[in-house]
């Protein structure tokens, strides 16, 4: 099958009409699941429903897209990606990363700030937005750092960064170890109405670890990262979130203990959310035996009980969103001994099929899976996306739920190919990705 990509023009021409017929209209928030049609005009959804164009009379001059009964959903979101620009363009750029997103059916991403220089200043935020307008295939949003230089010491100008368009604050790649600094950040979070997102890791507990602490790390003779490293930090931050009333979000949650802490926080009514990466509900640390450094990420792949806990967290709503932690690395950063290799894998082109495996295995309903990739992550970073609504921006994903294929990282469009999912047989794939009413990706 052939993949085609087209950069959006960003021209909101209301005369441009596209009609999607024979679609299975699917909106996770409202519960809509009906055969029907959808009309976009310019960059907006003009109308949709089961009765639309039933008589076959479509607007004059409209482009017709036959969905052939496939799922037409709001565009998917991935609220944790690393596009490496500025500073490490040999690993990924906004252009290549967004192209990878489009191939995965993702229409909006939120970039992490651990670039070089760090996104801790309004000038760098402006640079990201400018580069996105020039080179991105999808909507690119960005987090700003919590602390200057991600050094964990001095709070950034969070108010100015919010005004510049940052969707939240995180030192991802590093945790905020200083509780006083984190308390201050969460207090600002309450005022600004934006999330403070934590890479939950106590560095004093994980020091030197390169994978999960357990029988596999012992077998390989390498230092491990215990579950307590994540859980201790989440427990601390939840206490601070309750103290300040701030919005706290746990990035890539991976342990049973941390998930239980978030579950308790939600029962108390705290502003606490969490996301999980597909690799944490599909793989365990045993994958390191086969894929070695291509299975090295932080937080690491955990034990089977933790993998199951992530799934239970998604099922009961403790974990709100699915996000990839897309972390591209060049071969030189990965093809080294395990203890020396960089953490992270690419994930934008594997998120949808890996998530749909929960549906095909009858583990989770389709509505809950799509919710975790549409309106729920949109609500975490407070962007008006993830819903089929009249007047809403026309960001759409057309999905063939039953498309059987074999994942081959060598065929990814990301600049980096570091993935442990080589030769995985999966079902489900994006057939078309629409951003602002324009098709940016099609699989034919």
Catalytic site positions: 325
Structure tokens at 209: 């670890």
- Please, which residues have CB within 8 angstroms of residue 355's CB and are 6 or more apart in sequence? 278, 322, 369, 372, 373
Nearest of 286, 285, 300, 229 to residue 258 by alpha carbon:
229
Question: Beta strand 224-225 with 211-212: parallel, antiparallel or unpaired?
Answer: parallel
Nearest of 49, 45, 47 to residue 74 by alpha carbon:
45
User: What is the C-alpha to C-alpha distance for residues 409 and 422, in angstroms, rounded to an integer?
Assistant: 6
HSE-up (13 A, CA, CB side) for residue 435: 28
Structure tokens at 171: 């030192």
Is the peptide bond preceding residue 117 cis, with omega within 30 degrees of 0? Answer: yes
Beta bridge partners of 71: 24, 399
User: What is the C-alpha to C-alpha distance for residues 147 and 78, in angstroms, rounded to an integer?
Assistant: 23
Q: Is the CA virtual torsion 260, 266, 270, 276 positive or negative?
A: positive
Structure tokens at 78: 């991935």
CB 390 within 8 A of CB 46: yes
Tokens 């037409």 — which residue? 72
Structure tokens at 360: 């095909």
Give exposure, 370-390, as e/b (b: 16+ Cβ within 10 Å).
Answer: bbbbbbbbbbbbebebbbbee
User: What is the C-alpha to C-alpha distance for residues 345 and 297, in angstroms, rounded to an integer?
Assistant: 7
Structure tokens at 34: 């009906």
């Amino acid at each position: 099958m052939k993949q085609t990509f087209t950069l959006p023009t960003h021209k909101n021409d209301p005369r441009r009409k596209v009609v999607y017929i024979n679609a299975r209209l699917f909106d996770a928030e409202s519960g809509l699941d009906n055969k029907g049609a959808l009309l976009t005009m310019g960059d907006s959804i003009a109308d949709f429903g089961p009765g639309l164009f039933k008589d076959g009379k479509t607007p004059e001059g409209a482009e017709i897209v036959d969905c052939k009964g496939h799922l037409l959903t709001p565009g998917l979101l991935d609220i944790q990606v690393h596009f490496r620009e500025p500073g490490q363009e040999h690993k990924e750029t906004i252009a290549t990363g967004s192209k990878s997103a489009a191939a995965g059916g993702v229409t909006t991403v939120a970039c992490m700030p651990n670039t070089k220089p760090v996104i801790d200043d309004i000038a760098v935020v402006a640079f990201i937005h400018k580069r996105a307008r020039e080179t991105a295939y999808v909507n690119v949003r960005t987090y700003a750092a919590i602390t200057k230089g991600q050094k964990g010491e001095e709070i950034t100008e969070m108010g100015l960064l919010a005004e510049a368009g940052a969707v939240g604050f995180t030192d991802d790649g590093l945790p905020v170890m200083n509780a006083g600094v984190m308390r201050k950040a969460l207090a600002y979070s309450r005022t600004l109405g934006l999330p403070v997102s934590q890479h939950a890791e106590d560095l004093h507990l994980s020091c030197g670890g390169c994978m999960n602490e357990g029988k596999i790390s012992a077998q390989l003779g390498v230092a491990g990262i215990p579950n307590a490293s994540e859980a201790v930090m989440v427990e601390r931050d939840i206490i601070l979130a309750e103290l300040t009333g701030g919005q706290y979000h746990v990035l890539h949650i991976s342990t049973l203990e941390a998930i239980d802490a978030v579950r308790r926080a939600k029962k108390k009514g705290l502003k606490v959310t969490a996301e999980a990466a597909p690799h944490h509900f599909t793989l365990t640390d045993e994958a390191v035996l086969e894929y070695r450094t291509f299975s090295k990420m932080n937080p690491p792949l955990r034990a089977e009980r933790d993998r199951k806990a992530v799934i239970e967290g998604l099922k009961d709503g403790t974990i709100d969103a699915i996000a990839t932690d897309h972390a591209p690395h060049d071969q030189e950063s990965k093809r080294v001994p395990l203890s020396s290799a960089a953490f992270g894998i690419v994930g934008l082109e594997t998120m949808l099929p890996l998530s749909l495996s929960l549906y095909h295995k009858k583990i989770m309903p389709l509505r809950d899976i799509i919710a975790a990739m549409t309106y729920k992550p949109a609500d975490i970073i407070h962007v008006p996306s993830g819903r089929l609504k009249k007047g809403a921006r026309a960001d759409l994903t057309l999905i063939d739920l039953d498309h059987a294929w074999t994942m081959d990282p060598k065929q990814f469009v990301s600049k980096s190919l570091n993935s442990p999912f080589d030769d995985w047989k999966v079902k489900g794939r994006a057939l078309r990705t629409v951003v602002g009413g324009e098709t940016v990706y099609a699989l034919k």
